[in-house]
Amino acid sequence: THARIAFPALQARTMSAEDAAALIHDGMTIGMSGFTGSGYPKSVPVALAARIEAAHAAGDPFRVKVFTGASTGPELDGALAKANGIEFRLPYNSDPIAREQINSGEMNYVDMHLSQVAPVVWEGFLGKLDMAVVEVSGITPDGDLIPSTSIGNNKTWLDQAEKVILEVNHWQSHALDGMHDIYYGTALPPNRVPIPLVRPDDRIGQTHFRIDPAKVVAVVETEAPDRNLPFAKPDAVAEAIAGHLLEFLGHEVARGRLPENLLPLQSGVGNVTNAVLSGLMDAPYHGMTAFTEVVQDGMLDLLDAGKLRMASATAFSLSPEAAERFNRDALRYRDKLVLRPQEISNHPELVRRLGCIAMNGLIEADIYGNVNSTHVMGSRIQNGIGGSGDFARNAYLSIFMTPSTAKGGKISAIVPQVAHVDHISQDVQVIVTEHGLADLRGLAPRQRAGVIIDRCAHPDFKPMLRDYYARALQGSFGKHAPTLLNEALSWHQRYVETGSMR
């Protein structure tokens, strides 16, 4: 049935994924939908991967450049990477096969602030966009597009691409219609004006994408679920981290530095941030809001409990159970959730204006509070900076959380110097591990070092950090941020050589 495709001219373009993929050629730049495993195209990329494999088997070159919102699913990044079909990727990846290719040097990857992707494409800095492949949940009688479970950069892909392939996914809930807020008021310098959003629940745009139907070369119908990874139940470490953070927020409220319902929450993805959201279920805050990237399980729970009044995001990132619950009850959430383009959900102007509380994970932090979110041992990318930079620099409170060790205790997450910097010390106000919380606001580097080592480091690594710092105080070229240049990265080198920082 074409019930979801109510515009006759686009009904006439329905075809198989294979026929649609045949419209994609070697060397093309493609903007695809998808953000943290939701709303990505499920069938055209798989058909494209098969086409690429066949071309390679015949000895013909076939690779494409892929832009998305953020991470996608195995049917997109996984399938295309397995076919060795991606020559260039941005702005975020968490697929293991693609990660291997990026780290082996086979795939070029540009790790970008998520808010900057749409403007940079629009400005023309990344060349021409040949094709958009975008999942939607329906097409209206007027030929407008009802977005799916993520918005990401879709508005920009649909506007900028020469040609468009749509996937209409019947699995997505009808009740998504009305949940989106697509703002068409952004402009390029020198014509930019303030974005008229002053509260997280403001609606400043329209619920549907507009599209020039003449550009749509194919419409493919699918019925496939989003990626939806299960969450582990918070372990003792995640619960301890959440406990320290919640105690800190309570303290800030008591001191009058945060309102009783906190400020709009931004929360990264992962088990630790989910543990914080679970912890908020039992905390005394009501009428909270979220201005964030993704709606994860914990946020649905908080909405259900009436603790969270509303959430603004650009995508869902739900476990299979939560996705089912959402699909069943989507109507109930419609006035409590707003999905926006990622240039708006992550906009520095809005994050600063609203005064978000940013809570993100990290790979390692150093004793002065510089944070590495992306590169293991300084060179192996894990995922990417994602939205953490958009939020951390502009937040009212910028909090980073991590277990104090990684890889079974062989790696300390607190090191003399980070081997790669994503967030400079000025953008890092609070660091939390299972051992404690370091409030770094207003502290000079030497004061920061004391607090971070005392509160956050694992007991096994504390003596080593204290020893390094004491010798740095003696032997450093300058005493503002004492550093032993020939030793600062030696912990990483030891890990690379011996498999342990100890």
Q: Is 457 in the site for ligand 0RQ (CB under 6 A)?
A: no
- For residue 450, the minimal CB distance to ligand 0RQ (Å) is 22
- Ranges assigned E (strand) in 305-379: 308-313, 315-317, 337-339, 357-361, 364-366, 371-372, 375-376
Q: Any contact of residue 407 with ligand 0RQ (CB under 6 A)?
A: yes
User: Which of 293, 343, 364, 434 is the catalytic position?
Assistant: 293
* C-alpha distance from residue 422 to each of 23, 378, 380, 442, 489 (Å): 38, 11, 14, 21, 16
Among residues 45, 73, 361, 482, which is the contact residue for ligand 0RQ, using CB under 6 A? 361
Q: In one letter, which amino acid is 50?
A: A
Q: Where are the beta strands (DSSP E) in 157-203?
A: 163-169
Do residues 421 and 365 touch, judged by C-beta distance below 8 A?
Answer: no
How many CA within 13 A on the CB side of residue 76? 32
Asked whether position 373 contacts ligand 0RQ by CB under 6 A, the answer is yes
DSSP state of 150: B
319 is a contact residue toward ligand 0RQ (CB under 6 A): no
Region from 158-166, 278-286, 358-366, 425-433 binding ligand 0RQ, contact rule CB under 6 A: 358-366
Phi/psi region, residue 182 (left: phi>0; alpha: psi -120 to 50; beta: rest), is beta
Closer CB to ligand 0RQ, residue 91 or residue 138?
Answer: 91
Strand partners, 65: 29, 88
The phi, psi pair for 280, rounded to 5°, reads -65, -20
Active-site residue, 252 included: no
Q: Are 67 and 126 in contact (CB under 8 A)?
A: yes
Asked if 363 interacts with ligand 0RQ (CB under 6 A), we say yes
Residue, CB closest to ligand 0RQ: 386
Kindly tell me which of 213 and 355 has the beta carbon lying closer to ligand 0RQ.
355
CB of 294 to ligand 0RQ, least distance (A): 6
Q: Among residues 175, 246, 406, 464, which is the contact residue for ligand 0RQ, using CB under 6 A?
A: 406
The torsion angles phi and psi of 105, rounded to 5 degrees, stand at 90, 5
Among 29, 115, 383, 433, which residue interacts with ligand 0RQ (rule: CB under 6 A)?
Answer: 383
Secondary structure element (H or E) that encloses residue 137, with its range: strand 131-139
Could you tell me which stretch among 219-227, 249-257, 356-364, 433-441 binds ligand 0RQ (CB under 6 A)? 356-364
- Report if residue 355 touches ligand 0RQ, rule: CB under 6 A: no
Please identify which residue in 151, 179, 216, 272 interacts with ligand 0RQ, judged by CB under 6 A.
Answer: 272
* 47 or 112: CB nearest ligand 0RQ: 112
- Give the footprint of ligand 0RQ on residues 231-270 (CB under 6 A): 268-270
**CA angle (422, 427, 430) in 5-degree steps:** 105
Q: What are phi and psi of 498, to 5 degrees?
A: -120, -10
Tell me which residues in 278-307 interact with ligand 0RQ (CB under 6 A). Answer: 293
What does the block give as tokens for 97? Answer: 């096969």
| Binding of residue 367 to ligand 0RQ (CB under 6 A) | no
Contact characters 25-64, ligand 0RQ, x per CB under 6 A: -----------x----------------------------
First-last CA distance in the chain = 62
Q: Which tokens in the block code for residue 366?
A: 């150093």
Least CB distance from residue 393 to ligand 0RQ, whole Å? 13
Is residue 86 exposed (0-12), middle (13-18) or buried (19+ Cβ within 10 Å)? buried
C-beta of 120: minimal distance to ligand 0RQ in Å? Answer: 17
Before 190, cis peptide (omega within 30)? Answer: yes
Asked whether position 358 contacts ligand 0RQ by CB under 6 A, the answer is no
**Shortest Å distance, C-beta 69 to ligand 0RQ:** 9
Whole-angstrom Cα distance, residue 290 to residue 269?
14
Instruction: Give the SS3 label for residue 283.
Output: coil
CB of 422 to ligand 0RQ, least distance (A): 8
Q: Which stretch binds ligand 0RQ (CB under 6 A): 44-52, 163-171, 187-195, 381-389?
A: 381-389
The tokens for 293 are 């990237």
> Which range binds ligand 0RQ by CB under 6 A, 24-32, 153-161, 375-383, 444-452?
375-383
Size of the site for ligand 0RQ (CB under 6 A): 26
Check residue 382 for interaction with ligand 0RQ (CB under 6 A). yes
Give me the sign of the Cα torsion angle 365, 370, 374, 378: negative
Q: Characterize the bridge pairing of strands 216-222 and 430-433.
A: unpaired
Binding residues for ligand 0RQ (CB under 6 A): 36, 70, 92, 268-270, 272, 293, 360-364, 373, 376, 382-383, 385-388, 403, 406-407, 411, 413
**Would you please indicate which residues are annotated as catalytic (active-site) residues?**
293
